[in-house]
Each structure stands twice: as structure tokens, then as C-alpha cells.
Amino acid sequence: MNFFLLSPDLTYPLIISFFLCVLLVILAQVFPSLSGRSDDTKAVQAMHLHLTPRVGGIAIFGALVCGAFFAPHVIRQSYIAFLAGTSLLFFVGLREDLGLRVSPRLRMMAILVTSLIVMAILDTSLQRIGNVYVNQLLQLWFIGIPFTLLITAGVSNGFNLVDGVNGLASMTAFGASVAIALIAHLSGDAPMASVSMIVAAVTLGFLVVNYPFGLIFLGDAGAYVLGFVICWIGIIVIARVPEVSPWAVLMTMFWPIADTLLAMYRRWRARRSVMMADRLHAHQLVMRAIETCFIGHGRRQIANPLTTLFLAPFIVAPQIAAVLLWDNNLAAFFAVFVFLALFFWSFGFALAAVKRYRLRPQASQSFGAGTAADVDHDQRPRVKTSVGTH
């Protein structure tokens, strides 16, 4: 498989995505609604200081649609039908990005309905995880369909949750797409390898504009669509090639999945709604630590891209392991739980360090009241916005 930058068929989606992003950045100067609501920078989970175009999803989805011209002929019709089904999720996310309120529950419902539509279009669901007894249960529609909905909803929302600092979600999506493409290539599924590389090229076109300066954001439409598309490509590869380990495919999307599980656990312990936004995601803690310990408070424009750079090895490591263990289901299974244990341990260690730092006299100004409230699970009123947005 040629490296996509050397393949004209894969360079075109990258170029289309890049120029659509540039066009949207320019249009945002004329149409302020493209930059979202004025209270976005005051949100609990806000990681940016200024309003920025958050309609990168238009470029992502538009370039994916154009990618149909470059998809392998043997699966082109299925590719087009899949994107047609995904359009519901795109438009629901875009409505939120344009400043029109869409509740987290309604967006979650859109993911579930879109998954049902895609399952009907492709006549495919996640029917195996590598254990013969569980695989038999997943063959039953009343178990297999809800299980597939749970996985696709978790991954899609997970990409939205990690969409907090410049380049983080798109870098994760790029790495996941390349990893799944390599798995498909190694397993002999050339058509799906090409489709996954189209997604990688589209994502890279956005990433070039987004990182490091954050000229445009994915927004809900972009994050949801990327997570949804990548998840379904993984499911299709698992269905088409019995040798591919489902746990290896899961590792390609490890970071957003782990962050989602951690957020659910954290909010459950705090007796908060799982839909309520907070400031305790891994990337948020890392960014504030960079500000406090290295570059000083009030230099978020530097701390923001540095956070992605710092987290990159931890995001890429499971994706590399996924490619190496693509056909070794048992080893991939154990690798997932090793990475998950390390993720939770690292978060606990970082949180304990934050609490210790707060005891120091200078900490009150460095971390701010927002962090103290989050660590102690304070319930004082705060601006509430959608989960996982900037």
C-alpha cells in the first residue's frame, strides 16, 4: 500500500479538506455565527480564550463525500450509502456548532438512530469479540444490536470528549485511521484499507489548519462524524476478516474510549449526571499542569498545543500495539487492559498531585477556583454547555 501522500487518489481528499477549512476560517470573519455562541469561552470545559470557527465538521464531512470519487469501485456504492446514513448525525452536530441548542441527550439519540440506519444499510453489526461463547450471544439480534449501539455511541461521544485542545481529537483520529488501514492491509482487505486512508487524508487536511494555532475547531459535527466513521470502519473490517482481532481494532481508538470510561466513573463517584461537563479530562489536567509548572499562568495559547504534543506518545502507543497484535486476539485483549490500568493509574496520580499542589501557598492563583471546585466535586453554579465541546 503506497503512503497516501504519494498517491493522487488520497492526496485529493487531503487538499479538499484543507481548502474547505481555510474557506471556513475566512467566511467566519463575515458570518460570526460560524464561531459559535458568545458564552462558549465561559463553559466549564472551555480550553480556549477566544471565539473560533467551530464548523470544521463541514470540511470533514464535505471532504469525505468527495472521497467517494476516490473510493475503490467495488465498495463505492456502500461508501456513498454509509455517508448518506451518517448525514443525520452530521446535521444534528452542525446545529449545535452554529449556536442552536441541542441537548446532549438529543445528540446521543442521534448517534443511536444513525447507527441503526447504518446497520440496516450495510446489514452489519459487531458480532464477535474473540470469545466463542460471547460471539454466539452477539449473533442474537436482541444482544448484538444493542451491543453495537453501545460501542458506536461510546466511541463517537469519546472523540467529542477529547476534542478539547488543538489537534488532540484530529491527531487521535488520524492515528486511528492509519492504524486500521494498516490492519486491513495486513489482513488482505485492500478496499477497506483504502477507505480508512481516505479518512486519514481528510483528517490530516483539517489537522494542518487546526494545529498548532487553533484557527478552526472540529465542533460537534466533526468530532462525532470522525468517531462514528472510524468506529464503523473498524466494525466492517472485523466483519470482513475473521483473523482480525476486535481488541486490536479497539486499541486504535483507545484514548477516546478510555477517557469516556473515566468520565463516567468520575461523575458516578461524584453523584453527577454523566452528561454534565467538567474540567477533569486528562488533557485538561495536563494543560493546567503545563501552565503552572513550566510556562506560567495566562499563556494558554502556548500551553494548549503543548498539551497535544505531550499526550501524543500516550495516544499513539496503543495504536502501534494494535497494528503489531492485529491477529493475536489474546495478546490484544491483555494489552487493552494493561493500557486501561495505566490510564486510570496515571489519572489518579495526577489528581493526587493536583491536590497536594493546592496545599502550597502559591497554588491558589495558579490553578484557579475552577480546578479546586472540580477536585472537591463542588456543586456551585457554573456555565453549562454541551459535553465535549471547546
pTM of the predicted structure, to 2 decimals: 0.88
292 has pLDDT over 60: yes
* Biggest distance spanned by C-alpha atoms of the chain: 65
Q: Residue 389 carries which side chain, given as an amino acid letter?
A: T
**What mean pLDDT is predicted for residues 282-305?**
81
pLDDT at 363 over 60: no
The three cell numbers locating residue 350: 495526577
Report whether pLDDT(364) > 60: no
Instruction: Provide the pLDDT confidence category of residue 75 given band limits of 50, 70 and 90.
Output: very high
Query: What confidence score (pLDDT) does residue 360 get?
Result: 62
Number of Cα atoms under 13 Å in the Cβ half of residue 38: 0
**Which 3 state secondary structure label does DSSP give 359?**
coil
Helix (H) or strand (E) holding 221: helix 219-240
SS3 category, 277: coil
Alpha-carbon distance of 133 to 145, in angstroms, equals 17
Mean pLDDT in residue range 92-121: 93
State what percent of residues in the chain have pLDDT above 70: 83
Average pLDDT score over residue span 48-74: 90
Going by C-beta distance under 8 Å and a sequence separation of 6 or more, which residues neighbour residue 329? Answer: 130, 245, 246, 247, 248
